[in-house]
Structure 1
Amino acid sequence: MDEEQRKEAATSVLGDMQAIAAKMRALIVAMPAHDLLGYIYAQYMMKAMAEQNATEEQREPDGPDNLINENQFLLEYVHAVLASDTAPADVTFDEAQCAELYELGRKLREQAILFAMITSSDSKDGVFGPDTADIEYHAKSTWLMLRGNRYQVLEGDFYRYVLAPHNSILKEVYGVSAADIAEGFQAMADATRSGHADAIMEMMTQFEAAQAFAAAAGRPLANVMEEWVKANAEQSNAAGRAMDDIFRGGVANVSRHTKLPQALLADLAYRRGEETEFFAAGDFAGTPYRTLPARKKPLIQLGSDYYAVDPCFTRDAGYRALLYNLLQRKPGYKRSFESRQKKMSEAAFADILSAQLPSATIFQEVYYKDPVSKQWFENDTLILIDDVLFLVEAKAGAAATIASPALDFGRHAQSVQDLVLKAFKQCERFFNYLSSGDEVSLYHLIDGKYEEWGRVRSSDYRVMVPVGLTVESFSPFSAYCKELSQVKPLLGKHAFVSLSIDDLFVLKRLLPTPGEFAHYMEVRQAVAGIRRAHLFDEFDHLGAYLKKNRFDQDIAYQLKGSKVNMLVWDGMSDIVDRCFEGEDWESEPLPTQDFPEEVLKLLAALDAIRACGWLSAESHIRDLGEDGRNNLAKMLTGLRQTLNVHPARYFLLSGGREPLFVWLQRHGHQIEWTKVNDKASATALSVRASNVIGVVAEVGTDGSYRGAQSFAVQIPTVRTEKHAYIYEDAARMVQRGQLNLNRPKNVVRPAKARKLGRNDPCPCGSGVKYKKCHGR
């Protein structure tokens, strides 16, 4: 298709979109708003219930996601029409016209996607170079759909955190605290999530009460209903409200279901006919490529009450509209607002994930002098935990412009640049500085002067993760940003990862330990460095990790030698999505990777001590596949049970990226570190391993792990007189046939060792004083 044909096709599709949108507007405005809302919400509930109860063969191929998108799209249009048109005097509900609305909505979405394909295909070059066409299509298609997975049960967590810095001004302006507002948004989400079920339960309760009243009177129910209503006014009103929730869109009535103040709701709502831009004459009039009113203000005022017509925009549009109106009411607060937003966003990663980052060294507003330009630069947050480094660049602004990409793709491109490329460039500059010397100095800016607070050696860190963090969700661009030609692994090996505060609340819940989180970020970073492999958002990545562990290796294998332009893993988030479904979601067990109980106990013992190198040992164990984990459990169990006879046992397990040497010590017997390291070194030499991960675990008489710690295995590279005995031990192992790596090794009773001094070098071989290493 040449350029002229593309223009003709685009013009034709645009005309079709505008005609369909005009028909939808006419149908929506002609029906009573409450009845139409009730119908749409009820249709979704009935379809979702049918899908849930259907067998695998009966389920529709599009599944529940299509139901969500279909209803969301239609509710967005209902919101747009209610905001744009005053209520006519004569309206009539017509179910056949409702069915036609659904069909028109489907056609409009299809035409809009077709338009995105046609108009993006000729973007050969642009701000993103050869990636411009893909980015433009991504922006336009995403504009039409859900921007990423959201979990309504976490609305309160998000608002509670991001509004906390503005607590005092929110009280002053609206008379309620940040926590109160967060509670209100959570109640708003809960009403649409479980409102129908709650309403049905309420109606059943009142119906049973009325039946009991009739039975007590000895008369038919129909004959006593009027008396029951008079005698039970409160219960009758509750039944009426339940009926309204089910049949007249009452689940969306936030005036009823929240305690949010009138002034705040008014700031988030359109009055009927107030919006004048969406259907105004001009390009894209009434089509999805205009900015839908729900993206500006998520609520609609119907009578004296306020309704959240489309629940899917409540998070982003509500947050943005709330802060906008807060500044409109208090313009003098702008400077303080920006300062507080900056502090909140920069602290968010370490703050929200505090349980995953225990005893981490955290520095904010880190300054350094670039050795090339001689200029001073600043980075937001540096987190150092064991041998893992996180550099977090936070962006407190809106995660996406509300301007349509069809009308102004340049603004969308600027959003990507501001939120991804700027953060990437800042991380890149810092990583280059880290690599500029064996050790580099970092500074704080105090009273206009740069004061050194410490030095960092990149060689101390096995994993270094540069992170770009947004306040609002940036899905799916956050997962897609690795395809940008400008975004490359820093120093050739440290891929850039883009996350949002939304994502952190889910990661915090599903990856509760430091070892789990650090290992996930390792795998996540590996996937971020693989081009042509696409997962929709962060929760698809998390789901893939929980299901497959090293899914980066699966992806690399699938792409190896492949000529496909892109590999797509779809639907991986289902295991995560299910965590936030159902009434008892908070008490339901979380999805986890499968580990034998014995291995989990060893991991817990490593986490309990958190000695130097513990995350490396955890990472190595978590890398193991099913067979490796089972073999490790078998060896641990078998040897642990013999510690009543032997004070220590050891074994070597291969199967991971490096062999794992495990020394089990009876608790109460002093660990003879020199002997431990000598045996580990000899074992490594016997299998010709250049590197071995070492773990020492102490086991109590009851069989419980009292603690575990990793140690650096020092493997001699040249045989000398000093190391001859290690080589001889390795030779004996080979001669005895101990190359069977899963065969347990007996250890002679350790001789009494000299007591180590606190300032002596640690015998584990780390090179650190004993008091700062295993003597902590």
Structure 2
Amino acid sequence: MIQNQADEEKRKEVAASLMKDMEATAARMRELIVGMPPHDLLGYVYAQRMMKAMSEQDVTKEEREAQGPDELINQNQFLLEYIHAVLATDPAPDKVEFSGEKCAELFEQSSKLREQAMFYAMASSADKKDGAFGPNTADIEFHAKTSWVLLRGNRYQVLEGEFYRYVLEPHDEALKEIYGVGAREVAAGFQAMADAARTGQAFAIEEMMNQFQAAHAFAAAKEKPLEEVMEEWVAQNNDQSKAAGQAMEDMFRGGVANVSRHTDLPQELLADLAYERGEDKEFFAAGDHAGTPYRTLPVRKKPLIKLGSDYFAVDPCFTRDAGYRALLFNLLQRKPVYKVEFNELQKAMSEAAFADILGIQLPGAKVLQEVYYKDPVSKQWSENDTLILIDDVLYLVEAKAGAAATIASPASDFGRHAQSVQDLVIKAYKQCERFFNYLNTADEVPLFHMIDGKYVECARVRRADYRVMLPIGLTVESFSPLSAFCKELPAIMPLLGKHAFISLSIDDLFVLRRFLPTPGEFAHYMEVRQAVAGLRRAHLFDELDHLGAYLKKNRVDVEMTEQLKKDADFVMWDGMSFDVDRSFESESWETDPRPTQEYPDEMLKLLGAFDATRKAGWLRADSYLRNLGSEGRNELAAMLVELRKSLQQHDGRYFIYGQEVETPFFIWLHRSGGVIDWKKVNDKASSAAIMTSAGTMAGLMIETTAGGTYKAAFTFPVTRPTNRTEANAHIFDDAERMKQRANNFLRSQRAAPEKIQPAVDIPKVGRNDPCPCKSGLKYKKCHGR
């Protein structure tokens, strides 16, 4: 006990010393920033970004991925936030002077401050024994603090307009009344801000080169040196020379951040999003963490700064969250009577968002909003936001329309951060839990809508009908990393013992719908995502890392489980979003191929047939195939190719695919164009069910041409006779013949394992044997789950 107290005192001493060091470094940065002209300073910092980008033009993807996060870019972004903070805090001094030496020192001090902040995060979070996250509080507090300092721009700037259009559309009329522009115009303005920061310097260089070449051509036509005709060229090309001047501003004086010039947003709106010089009184005020990254940077409150008569987005990476919050705050400040209607519209938008944004991924889904039921425990009527039913997958979405998380620093008040999780995640979780418990009270339960003050039944739901049930908490804004870490909260347990809770944001949905464009892909991703959500002590940083890991590795949960069982008590995967991030970087990002999982063409055709047919049970079959590893996919594809080519001689071919622990498939390939002999198919399927040791079997009908045009794919029920009778004797006899052929086939495979032949059956596999899908995992950890 005494030793523990001594250790705690030592930790506090180290943390206090580090805090003083941070405050001293921050004070020196403030002194350097305030003493230089802001436009020139911004030009210098942005030039470093440009030179870094130019130096990486010939770097390969493999080299960039191996290098990991770009520290110069991250450091550059960190410094821009400090420039914004100093400009917001200090009035313009009478005398300023640009100095390259001071700029170099500023970069050094900025790097030093980030390093000190990391050490402080470790010292101030270590050995926390309890808290909102139970025994994991110390780890999560550490990640919250480091993310507070390091997480910069983990958004895709090309999607700014799309996000703002969606979330501001409910307030279109109010925006027009107050600012004179509607949701689309505001969204276009935010996209223009992002585009200027992302590509402004490249366009400025291109403009300068064009004007330089035009001036040289003018001089050549005059047959005079350029310096002799320059004034004449400027006089005759006023628009071009003005464009060249603006390009110079963009390149060398931070003009890419000038949103007054690069957007059409009205002055009143920009003013609401901006600090005047010297307006902020809190960031450098006396007290703990003064001027350090563990205070709330002014950019988190207002993303713009006014310099002269223009407004600048000094730091482009908080434009999304800070801009969205500041805009809505000022909307209500200017029109207080709008508050009630505002809340109603926000609620409606957020509740509809999942089904609305992911409409292509949810074709034909039954979407029920604001569903009511009588809680058998409390005997009170309860309400859930959105229930989505598609085939055998159930999505229950609880939406929270408010701000995703407090802007208070986790160092000054980690409790408020934890409380934001309580307010968002746990409330949504509890609502989902209550609904799932209700589903579990009977074989079938009624649901209701409230119409004119009365509860009117709108649906009946059977829990047994749903293979996958996904409880989801949805926020407007992302609040990484707490959203990914929420599964460590002691109160968050898989519902009904097996359905893990997932936290998502509207931000995430816009990305997911691009990379998972089909219903089968999206449903399978959500299955894997839920499996990872159910693994404590196994983490990916945010939804983009979850997506990247899925595209690279498919069954992420299986690999993480193996890592946990080997020699680790905590697993953290980082940088998995690399391919996803890169896909948004080029000018042609909208049309460039996106990273995706690799499938043989034959499997893609089959998956496409599922999607085209969409008969009951198709998502289960689709999911089973997507679970296969690369070797398993290739072997199945080879089997399909060989069998469907033989449809030139046969009306139908069949094989059994799967293991007895699961529900194996009896797969029948039918030559498209003919009539299916269902008696023959059902008899063969019943024989197959008898010869296998599995208790049940599912049928899969694939209609295709011998040339490989897949017309349809769907499941059908298989009956397994239990007793031999005179009427079904032929089925039992056929089962014996199947078993004999299977044994002969296995003997031939052992004699010539290199020869690939279509299998009638796959033999029984031991729980600890390698999985036949070639994933490299034990059967019990893969398809034997």
Query: What's the TM-score bracket when you normalise by the shorter of the two chains?
Result: over 0.9
Say yes or no: does 1:371 pair with 2:364: no
The answer as to whether partners of 2:144 and 2:481 remain within 8 angstroms in 1 is no
The answer as to whether partners of 1:28 and 1:78 remain within 8 angstroms in 2 is yes
Partner of 2:442: 437
The answer as to whether partners of 2:699 and 2:717 remain within 8 angstroms in 1 is yes
Partner of 1:518: 523
1:334 positional shift = 0.4
The answer as to whether partners of 1:148 and 1:536 remain within 8 angstroms in 2 is no
Q: Paired residue for 1:581, among 581, 585, 594?
A: 585
1:64 positional shift = 4.3
The DSSP-based 3-state class of the residue aligned with 2:583 is helix
The DSSP-based 3-state class of the residue aligned with 1:641 is helix
Distance 2:66 2:518 in 1: 37
Residue type of the partner of 1:679? K
Distance 1:182 1:242 in 2: 25
The DSSP-based 3-state class of the residue aligned with 2:360 is helix
Partner of 1:772: none
Cα deviations by residue, 1:462-486 (Å, 9 ceiling, x for unpaired): 0001001110012121111112221
Unaligned runs of 5+ in 1: 747-776
Q: Paired residue for 1:240, among 245, 249, 268?
A: 245
The DSSP-based 3-state class of the residue aligned with 1:239 is helix
Q: Paired residue for 2:479, among 474, 481, 485?
A: 474
Partner of 1:296: 301
Partner of 2:464: 459
Q: Name whichever of 46-55 and 407-416 sits farther off.
A: 46-55
Q: Paired residue for 1:4, among 6, 9, 12?
A: 9
Say yes or no: does 1:551 pair with 2:545: no
Say yes or no: does 1:190 pair with 2:183: no
Q: CA separation of 1:139/1:647 partners in 2, compared to 1, >3 Å: closer, same or farther?
A: same
Distance 1:56 1:547 in 2: 15
The DSSP-based 3-state class of the residue aligned with 2:647 is coil
Q: CA separation of 1:112/1:383 partners in 2, compared to 1, >3 Å: closer, same or farther?
A: same
1:174 positional shift = 0.7
Say yes or no: does 1:613 pair with 2:617: yes
Say yes or no: does 1:598 pair with 2:626: no
Residue type of the partner of 2:141? E
Cα deviations by residue, 1:271-316 (Å, 9 ceiling, x for unpaired): 1111111111222211111111000000001111111000110000
The answer as to whether partners of 1:382 and 1:392 remain within 8 angstroms in 2 is yes
The answer as to whether partners of 2:189 and 2:263 remain within 8 angstroms in 1 is yes
Mapping of residues 252-291 of structure 1, within 5 Å: 252-291=257-296
Residue type of the partner of 1:99? A
Say yes or no: does 1:569 pair with 2:534: no
Q: CA separation of 1:20/1:61 partners in 2, compared to 1, >3 Å: closer, same or farther?
A: farther
Q: CA separation of 1:447/1:4 partners in 2, compared to 1, >3 Å: closer, same or farther?
A: same
The DSSP-based 3-state class of the residue aligned with 2:572 is strand
State, as a whole percentage, how many aligned pairs show the same letter: 68
Partner of 1:220: 225
Q: CA separation of 1:64/1:237 partners in 2, compared to 1, >3 Å: closer, same or farther?
A: farther
1:125 positional shift = 2.2
Say yes or no: does 1:166 pair with 2:171: yes
Q: Name whichever of 239-248 and 679-688 sits farther off.
A: 679-688
The answer as to whether partners of 2:646 and 2:706 remain within 8 angstroms in 1 is no
Q: Paired residue for 1:644, among 645, 648, 657?
A: 648
Say yes or no: does 1:685 pair with 2:690: yes
Q: CA separation of 1:511/1:57 partners in 2, compared to 1, >3 Å: closer, same or farther?
A: closer
Q: CA separation of 1:78/1:229 partners in 2, compared to 1, >3 Å: closer, same or farther?
A: same
Q: CA separation of 1:255/1:277 partners in 2, compared to 1, >3 Å: closer, same or farther?
A: same
Distance 1:214 1:681 in 2: 88
The answer as to whether partners of 1:434 and 1:440 remain within 8 angstroms in 2 is yes
Q: Name whichever of 631-640 and 529-538 sits farther off.
A: 631-640
Partner of 1:25: 30
Partner of 1:251: 256
1:575 positional shift = 1.3
Q: CA separation of 1:364/1:463 partners in 2, compared to 1, >3 Å: closer, same or farther?
A: same
Distance 2:725 2:42 in 1: 84
Q: CA separation of 1:545/1:612 partners in 2, compared to 1, >3 Å: closer, same or farther?
A: same
Cα deviations by residue, 1:65-123 (Å, 9 ceiling, x for unpaired): 32332112111100000001111121111111111111111111122222222222243
Unaligned runs of 5+ in 2: 1-5, 747-755, 761-785
Q: Name whichever of 10-19 and 504-513 sits farther off.
A: 10-19
Partner of 1:736: 741
Residue type of the partner of 1:732? R
Distance 2:197 2:718 in 1: 57
Q: Name whichever of 199-208 and 695-704 sits farther off.
A: 695-704
Say yes or no: does 1:50 pair with 2:74: no
The answer as to whether partners of 1:48 and 1:64 remain within 8 angstroms in 2 is no
Distance 2:53 2:14 in 1: 37
Say yes or no: does 1:82 pair with 2:80: no
Distance 1:56 1:615 in 2: 35
Partner of 2:774: none
Q: Name whichever of 114-123 and 650-659 sits farther off.
A: 650-659
Superposition TM-score, scaled by structure 1 size: 0.93
Distance 2:648 2:457 in 1: 53
The DSSP-based 3-state class of the residue aligned with 1:354 is coil
The answer as to whether partners of 1:21 and 1:108 remain within 8 angstroms in 2 is yes
Cα deviations by residue, 1:341-386 (Å, 9 ceiling, x for unpaired): 0000000000000000000000011111111221211111000000
The DSSP-based 3-state class of the residue aligned with 2:72 is helix
Partner of 2:752: none
Residue type of the partner of 2:646? T
Distance 2:217 2:697 in 1: 74
Q: Tell me how large the CA RMSD over aligned residues is.
A: 2.0
The DSSP-based 3-state class of the residue aligned with 1:125 is coil
Q: Paired residue for 1:623, among 610, 619, 627?
A: 627
The DSSP-based 3-state class of the residue aligned with 1:356 is coil
Say yes or no: does 1:727 pair with 2:747: no
Q: How many residues align?
A: 745
Partner of 1:754: none
Residue type of the partner of 2:625? I
Distance 2:486 2:759 in 1: 50
1:425 positional shift = 1.1
Distance 2:350 2:550 in 1: 26
Q: Paired residue for 2:512, among 503, 507, 525?
A: 507
The answer as to whether partners of 1:697 and 1:709 remain within 8 angstroms in 2 is yes
Partner of 1:695: 700
Partner of 2:338: 333
Cα deviations by residue, 1:442-464 (Å, 9 ceiling, x for unpaired): 11122222222121000000000
1:719 positional shift = 4.8
Distance 1:190 1:309 in 2: 14
Partner of 2:765: none
The answer as to whether partners of 2:700 and 2:715 remain within 8 angstroms in 1 is yes
